[in-house]
Amino acid sequence: MSKKTLTLMSKDKQLFNIEEHLAVQSVTIRNMVKEDGASSVIPLPRVDSETLALVIEYLNRQQAPEEDEDYVKKFVDERGEIPTLLELAQAALDLDIKKLMDAACMKVADLIKDFTLEEVREALRIENDRTPEEEKAIRDEFQWAF
């Protein structure tokens, strides 16, 4: 059986080739291949090329099953930047690659776990749209968490 290749297109229109048997680790792609053979290019309009390159790198890994867990962990550890990890998690969610999504989310959680609220806002670039009064009301209501 010859190895079939699929082409994925990122949102900035870059093309990536990947062998089909590796690509179908993504449940989303697997379903597409099943449905219409997916002979042409598969567009991924929410995934930018850098993130897609990472996803492809991940899908192309050649790890023994028992080392896979460690590999995934190391793979996300090396991308310690929160924005990158979130993009990766988002792509993994869209493509339905559970292991990668779980690992990326776990890494983000690990990183923000010891942050103050202000640091979390900064890391995740959240705009504080609360008045101080509203904030105080929440603090009072959920004292146990603060």
Shorter beta-carbon distance to another protein: residue 8 or 22: 8
Nearest to 74 by CA among 99, 52, 97: 99
**Beta carbon of residue 99, minimum distance to another protein (angstroms, whole number):** 13
> What is the Cα 8 distance to its own chain's centre?
16
In the chain, beta strands by DSSP E: 5-9, 15-19, 41-43
34 binds another protein (CB under 8 A): no
Q: Which residues contact 72 (CB under 8 A, 6 or more apart)?
A: 58, 99, 100, 103
Residues, the chain, total?
146
Shorter beta-carbon distance to another protein: residue 57 or 110: 110
Stretch that binds another protein, among 15-23, 39-47, 52-60, 72-80 (CB under 8 A): 39-47
Shorter beta-carbon distance to another protein: residue 71 or 94: 94
End-to-end CA distance of the chain: 60
11 binds another protein (CB under 8 A): yes
List of residues contacting another protein (CB under 8 A): 11, 27-28, 31-32, 43-46, 82-83, 86-87, 89-90, 93-94, 96, 101, 105-106, 108-109, 112-113, 117, 120-121, 124-130, 135, 138-139, 141-146
